[in-house]
Amino acid sequence: MKVNQKIEEILTRSVAEILPTKDSFRKALKLGRRLRIYIGTDATGTSLHIGHATNYMILEKLRRLGHEIIFLIGDFTAQIGDPTDKNESTRKQLTREQVMLNTKTWIDQIKPVIDVDNKDNPIKILYNNDWLSTLSFEDVINLASNFTVQQMIERDMFQARIQSKKPLYLHEMFYPLMQGYDSVVMDVDVEMCGMDQKFNALAGRTLLKKLKNKEKFIFITTLLENPITGKKMMSKSMGTGVFLDFDADKMYGSLMAQPDENMRQLFIDCTWLDLNEIDKILKIENPRDAKAKLAREIVAIYHGVKAALKAEQEFEKVFKEKKLPSKIPLIKIVAKNFNILDLLVKTKLVPSKAEAKRLILQRAIKIDGEVQENWQKKIKIKSGMIMQTGKRKFIKF
């Protein structure tokens, strides 16, 4: 593929918006000047998901074109707590120790999609604690003087809080300042982010212009959202996420559990497949076969082709042939008698007794293949007994 074709693919695939304009960014790319491009991710959890990886895949394409790529870990901003997507309450602030623990495996997680160790044009890995923690109170006041209160409270999630009479804390307004200052310190040409980070990225554009008289492009990628419900596909709390630290079997099963309507965007945003090939796959008469192809492609990226095929075989065995998985986690419990609700919570098959009761009433709990319908039942644990929650969770005693 020629350079101009590669540029056009970057500009048309997984792109929600490019500021100030797509045309101006196209011109900048075609001029051949080496751009400094960054993406920042706050260290709020131990796992990155395939929605994050959409950005890393685009960054890898830009890195291959010779541009400088910075992977910024928000180890300081994570301690502030980004209010993004938190209309109802303030995001929990993390300690320095929690932040560092969260990022321990991040680099290994992104290696399958971005060539971290490339010798000719390696990516830079930076931490914003290195400069944000050194700011004096005077520095912060000077940064804040570039924005008005009106500008800050225009933010949609702040407006939602105000209208619903929920508390809006002063420290949350400093978050856009801190993220914006990242752009100034790193002297970037481009910031890549999701639509939920647009406000923060614009703050960076303002600061870079005022403090260095420099323009910055903002490359906003599409969020993985269900086209019918509008809900995010990647949600750990809802059990719908596909995370980069999943093993091959779990990743494959999580992808197969995605609704059919999510397939097109998952193919476009999370695989290397050509768009024409994606269209051909989606025309397959049986959507399940297309979804299996999707799951194979994504699992192969993170675990290799052999592991993807093996995961597919395991999935077929459990879901199509109704057989037990080859590997079932072994649980050792000293006590031998439990109420079924207590047992489900004790073994961490469910997070709470309320959820356990709900699943039993929905006939979603089995013991040795027998559906459990009595949430008050006493269970006597026997060696070799298998307990199942839903279609994919098994444990063995």
* Mean pLDDT to the nearest integer, 207-225: 95
Sign of the C-alpha dihedral, residues 182, 184, 189, 194? Answer: positive
The DSSP string of 60-118 is: HHHHHTT-EEEEEEETTHHHH---TT-SSSPPPPPPHHHHHHHTTTHHHHHTTTS-TT-
C-alpha to C-alpha distances, 69 to 20, 51, 132, 290, nearest whole angstrom: 20, 19, 20, 34
- pLDDT in the model for residue 239: 55
Q: Does the domain spanning 248-320 belong to CATH 3.40.50.920?
A: no
- Whether 78 has a pLDDT exceeding 60, the answer reads yes
> What residues does 124 pair with on adjacent strands?
70
C-alpha to C-alpha distances, 91 to 43, 316, 338, nearest whole angstrom: 13, 40, 37
Of 219, 128, 222, nearest to 175 by C-alpha is 128
- pLDDT in the model for residue 87: 45
Choose between 387 and 21: higher pLDDT.
21
| Per-residue tokens: 261 | 């309507």
- Whether 269 has a pLDDT exceeding 90, the answer reads yes
Answer for the pair 41, 102: CB distance below 8 angstroms, yes or no.
no
C-alpha to C-alpha distances, 183 to 27, 93, 219, 270, 374, nearest whole angstrom: 21, 23, 14, 27, 58
Choose between 206 and 83: higher pLDDT.
206
Residue found under tokens 């796959």: 281
Q: How confident is the model at residue 299 (pLDDT cuts 50, 70, 90)?
A: very high
* Mean pLDDT to the nearest integer, 283-305: 93
- Whether 19 has a pLDDT exceeding 90, the answer reads yes
* Least reliable range by pLDDT among 171-185, 228-242, 353-367: 228-242
What is the chain's mean pLDDT, rounded?
88
Q: Map out the domains of the chain as residue ranges.
A: 3-221, 248-320, 337-396
Answer for the pair 16, 195: CB distance below 8 angstroms, yes or no.
yes
* Mean pLDDT to the nearest integer, 70-86: 78
For domain 3-221, the CATH class is alpha beta
C-alpha to C-alpha distances, 288 to 239, 259, 263, 372, nearest whole angstrom: 20, 10, 10, 29
Cα 49 to Cα 54: distance, rounded to the nearest angstrom: 9
- Between 3.40.50.360, 3.10.290.10, 2.20.25.10, 3.20.20.80, what CATH number should domain 337-396 receive? 3.10.290.10
Structure pTM? 0.81
Of 308, 313, 297, 380, nearest to 343 by C-alpha is 380
Residue 91 backbone phi and psi in degrees, to 5: -70, 140
| Per-residue tokens: 117 | 């160790």
For the stretch 108-119, pLDDT in tens is 999 999 999 999
Crossing angle of helices 198-212 and 174-186, rounded to 10°: 50
- Whether 236 has a pLDDT exceeding 70, the answer reads no
Choose between 270 and 163: higher pLDDT.
270
C-alpha to C-alpha distances, 108 to 46, 122, 137, 145, 314, nearest whole angstrom: 12, 15, 36, 40, 25
The DSSP string of 167-180 is: ---GGGGHHHHHHH
* Rg of the chain over all Cα atoms, to the nearest angstrom: 24
Q: How confident is the model at residue 240 (pLDDT cuts 50, 70, 90)?
A: low
For the stretch 107-146, pLDDT in tens is 999 999 999 999 999 999 999 999 999 999 999 999 999 9
- pLDDT in the model for residue 83: 65
DSSP 304: -
Report the 10 Å Cβ neighbour count for 202. 17
Cα 155 to Cα 146: distance, rounded to the nearest angstrom: 16
Cα 176 to Cα 241: distance, rounded to the nearest angstrom: 27
